[in-house]
Amino acid sequence: MRRLLAALLLAALAVTGLSVPAQAAEPRAFSPFVGGGGVVGPGVTYDKYSVMVDGERVLLRGAEFHYFRLPSPDLWRDVLEKYKAAGFNAVSLYFNWAYHSPKQGVYDFTGVRDVDRLLRLTEELGLYVVARPGPYINAETTGGGFPAWLKRVPGRARSSDAGYTDAYREWLDRINPIIARHQVTRGGRVLLYNVENEYQANTDAQYMQDLQDRARADGITVPITTNVCCDAASWASTWGSGPGAVQIPGVDDYPQSFECQNADSVWGPWGEGVTERVRADAPGFAAEYQAGAIDVNNAGYDRCRELTGPAYMKFFQKNNLIASGATAFSYYMGFGGTNWGWLGQPNDVYTSYDYGAAITEARQLTAKYDEFKRQNYFLRAVQPLTRTDAVPGPAPSNPVLTSAARVNPDTGTQIVLLRHTDRAATTDDSATLDWSTPDGRYAVPVRLIGRDAKLLVAGYDLGGQRLAWSTSEILTHEAIGGRDVAVLYGTAGTRGATVLRYPSRPRVTVLDGRVSASYDRGDLRLDYSHDGLARVLITGGGRRPLLLLLGTDATAATFWRADTPAGPVLVRGTGLVRSAEVRGGTLDLCADTARRSDIEVFGPARPLTVNGLAVAVRATASGSWRGTLPGPAKVTLPALTGWRSHAEAPETRPGFDDSGWRVADAGLASDDYGFHSGSVWYRGRFTATGTETSIDLNAITGRRGNYLVWLNGRYLGSAAGGTQADSDAPQNPDPGPGHFAVPPGVLKPGQPAVVSVVVQNMGNNDDWTADDNRFRQPRGLVRAALGGSDAPITWRIQGALGGEDLPDPVRGPLNTGGLYGERHGWTLPAYPDRSWSRAGSPVPVGVTWLRTSFRLDLPRAQDTSIALRFAAPPPAGQRVTLFLNGWNLGQYGAAIGLQTEFVLPAGLLREHGGNTLALSVIADRAGPVVPARLVITGTHRGGVEVRPVPGR
């Protein structure tokens, strides 16, 4: 995704003189991509307007999803069904090299890493896939997706250097064949293949060409794309069709920046967010369009959701659609998820990767989800949008408003964007549009309140109807039961007008609401207020019947559409509709309800079942069917009691046996010994001279890390770990030593002494600027010396058990660090803790473990999302790592961030059985333990079946 280095990069590009070349006057003919040896599935083609599948134009509506941030494969279905229900027809998927490869030559695609299962799911749900295997992905993950073992591989990363080339080919030769067998050209759903990620900071064309050649050799036959970042000139377009150029370049746009702390005042600081068309012969592709933000300033993700809320979405996303003419959109993110384990990149994120997304980390729907649904339903319904040219918009009579338009050259349909001329305006303004439509010239009254934007349509064949124009926006229209059913909406309290063309005067029956009708020379005009839901039945006039439903933004969001073999259905009143199916004359819906509510179905008359249960329905005057659905059953959660405690850190004692540890004879950096994440212990031995005054150390941990120091068992203190000066500045490998004074009497001349240090590493830097040094910055101790003495120190090091040789491949390489309890199974449910003491308060300096167990029996056929909530921000000096049934689900600490609530995903959480919580507390001062409790973050009747994720 786009990072905060954007401004620096733009300045650098200006200095180098890179620019976007003039586009060709005429596009090239579209290019076919078919399977080797002939077409083995639908052909994928494209022209300057859109991608086509087997000749049918596709308006790609996608959002990013990170399977690696949701380690419960059954919940992948839940999230992707919610994507589909919101009108998305695609999903963008990063594939995380580090997540699959703990060691060079070792790869795992099973369990929570089963991406073949993920791609089969997209096929079942009918979602196109933009596959993004990197090898570099960024995504605020540790190393930007590079496995930590890559640090030891010679050759500059993200270049055509030989060592790196051999390494990334190892990855691509494993992931590409999985992707290849799921391509559209083989009957799957992978439509586009994205090489690299935001690769504009380093322009090694041969590297980019090699990536594409490798993809083709591994069986990739669909068009290849990439995502260009930060409004910078694209090397892909600069070189045209030369080495490294892709078929369909995409662009990243993040107009709202990442200033979540200023959510109430920021409005488009990075521009209007219009996707640049990089090549004239390819469709516009918004490869990453901002749909949330990372919380770099610890404002909280609710503020990030406010920063990128419905008002932002209405203005910027609609403006981009018309101004760019793009026909492929991927929004970052649709669902963020969790940086569980040590998955996160340390400088920008903490445990939660909620991202302020439309679907929360706890998988709950938000007002942003409603706006996505309104826009996606419109884009699906109005098919002329797949092929349009820019034309001048109708002139508003009030200059504070402006318009832009696009027209389909085949149908003449016009799509007009109405917005404020000053994008930051918050006023309430009205005007009249002088609108020449395909059906005549009209004076059209319009009104905009605040930071809104509207997509108005004219000259449109709305099913079997002819829409001359409307000041209401189209949600959807469907042919149901021999008539058209159309839903239009507008801002609550504003007036609306719709003109439909009829060969002769039709009959208008207002079923509900206040709507006036007039007919003049073929134009049927309806005038109304956007208030609640008005219903108008129009019959005769030479066309098939039309049920017109006129509502507000809020009422539009209550509608769901789904396809069945018998035709589409519209449903309102449920919290979600996942799917619809006709079985033996019965319409069966899979739907979620958060409370007892009415359900209304627009579809052919037939019995109704919801989630397999019969629902009594009655006919309405609108020709729909109404019934009542029960809400979810009450959920009662157990209290967390019976905590047991055990002090840790025997490594601090002088007599501790560290003979099985690695000898640190090649420097102190932990990655050199295969210890890449979490806590790493060091023990250094020296013979005291009596002149020692201090222990002088440096450790690089990434942002939010720290280290604690003991000498001969005496605690000396702690220090923050070094990092880059900030997330976008050049690296600082020497952040300044920590000086720890030697207390009197601790050392005796001629006697052996032991320094014990625990370093909390927070993950590896990304390599966003492709400067290599950023990614290769070491972790762990980087300097150790004695103040006042030149006595040599010999060191041993111990990190996660097994290092790169995983004893627990199920949870994988990023789940644990090197604490004694982690190495000895104290995180696991089966560990016998009966001998531990009853937990008390406060916890002492050092490392303390807390454990408790609880049982759940949640209501079945119900989706209840559970979180662990700490009662207050953590005390200063504490760092708590949370393990649920052996899975590391987060870090809670004063130096880490403000997060106090941690999602416990079903599958890892045993919803019907016993669970174990284990907390490791690293404290640099004694302090109380903050109590925690289980809380419900949402519960719905319905959902998906979630099976326990296996784990030892």
The one catalytic residue in 196, 288, 692, 804 is 288
CA–CA separation, 478 vs 485, rounded Å? 5
For the chain, the first-to-last Cα distance in angstroms comes to 35
Which residues contact residue 642 at a Cβ distance below 8 angstroms, ignoring those fewer than 6 apart? 852, 853
Give the separation between CA 549 and CA 489, rounded to whole angstroms. 8
**CA neighbor of 583 nearest in space, from 609, 563, 602, 604:** 609
Query: What is the C-alpha to C-alpha distance for residues 777 and 787, in angstroms, rounded to an integer?
Result: 26
Q: Which amino acid is at 225?
A: T
Angle between the N-to-C axes of helices 73-85 and 115-125, in degrees from 0 to 180, rounded to the nearest 10: 30
Between the alpha carbon of residue 26 and those of residues 29, 281, 490, the distances in Å are 9, 8, 39
Q: Which helix (H) or strand (E) holds 168?
A: helix 162-180
Residues 6+ positions from 723 with CB-CB distance below 8 Å: 346, 347, 700, 701, 702, 703, 705, 732, 735
Distance CA 7, CA 748 (A): 56
Q: Which strands, in side-by-side order, build the sheet including 694-700?
A: 738-741, 694-700, 780-787
Q: Which two tokens stand for residue 208?
A: 């980019």
What residue type is 925 in one-letter code?
A: R
Q: With H, G, I as helix, E, B as strand and everything else as coil, classify residue 580.
A: strand
Tokens found for residue 335: 């669902």
The closest of 232, 119, 102 to 806, measured between CA atoms, is 102
Residue 886 to residue 140: CA distance in whole angstroms: 24
Distance CA(912)–CA(929), nearest Å, equals 29
Neighbouring C-alpha atoms within 13 Å toward the C-beta of 401? 28
Residue 546 identity: L
Cα gap 931→927, rounded to integer Å: 12
What are the angstrom distances between the C-alpha of 223 and each of 130, 169, 482? 10, 20, 40
How many Å is the Cα radius of gyration of the chain? 30
Residue 97: strand, helix, or coil: helix
- 198 annotated active-site: yes
One-character DSSP codes across 787-825: ET-----EEEEE-STTTTS-S-TTT-TTS--S-HHHHTT
Residue 595 neighbours by CB distance under 10 Å: 12
| CA–CA distance, 360 with 356 (Å, rounded to integer) | 7
Q: Which of 81, 140, 196, 198 is catalytic?
A: 198
Q: Exposure pattern of 452-479 as b/e (b: 16+ CB <10 Å)?
A: bbbbbbbbbebbebbbbbbbbbbbbbbe
Instruction: Give the pairing type, strands 428-437 and 395-396.
Output: antiparallel
At residue 212's C-alpha, the angle toward residues 89 and 98, to 5°, is: 75
Q: Which residues contact 286 (CB under 8 A, 6 or more apart)?
A: 250, 251, 253, 275, 320, 324, 326, 328, 329, 330
DSSP 503: S
Residues 306, 261: Cα–Cα separation, whole Å: 10
Q: Which amino acid is at 61?
A: R
CA 793 to chain centre: 46
Residue 645 is encoded by which pair of tokens? Answer: 């405690």
List the structure tokens of 293: 């933000």
B/e letters for 581-591, b = 16+ CB within 10 Å, e = fewer, are ebeeeebbbbb
Q: Residues with catalytic annotation?
A: 198, 288
